[in-house]
Amino acid sequence: MSLVVAGLGFGCPSHAQRVVVTTDEAPKAIGPYVQAVTAGDTLYLSGQLPLDPKTGSIVEGDIRKQTEQVLKNLQTVLAARGMTLDDAVMAHVFVTDLSEFSAINETYAGFFKTPPARATVEVKALPRGARIEISMIAARKR
């Protein structure tokens, strides 16, 4: 894991210092963005696709398998800051087929003791042919 200080973060809560979070254990960003950024006690995680961190390829399998990989990737980025999915306060789920909503929910529920607030939106397409992408906001418990 490596951390890079990105600046003072004016406009962030209480002018908190922004810290860019990157870890080699999660898939590398496939565009001009970082895996996550902290501002104070809040961690903003970029959308994760169902990419295998070792190969960078979409995992094979159904929506359950893709959902599982996305959540594992998010867990890995959270762990880079000493956090877990229990610290998540908001998730944004993007799917290419809302008819898979029940299967997504079944897999998703297995990762949380108490799930965060969430929005789910159907989109026409996702990068690399993925069927699901999830971004997240987490807050460190005090």
Which domains are seen in the chain, by residue range?
2-139 (3.30.1330.40)
Summarised one tens digit per residue, pLDDT across range 34-63 is: 999 999 999 999 999 999 999 999 999 999
pLDDT cut 70: percent of the chain above it: 89
Residue 12: pLDDT above 70?
A: no
Non-local CB neighbours of 39 within 8 Å, separated by 6+ positions: 9, 12, 13, 16, 17, 18
Which pLDDT does position 14 carry in this prediction? 53
Summarised one tens digit per residue, pLDDT across range 97-107 is: 999 999 999 99
Find residue 36's DSSP bridge partners.
21, 45
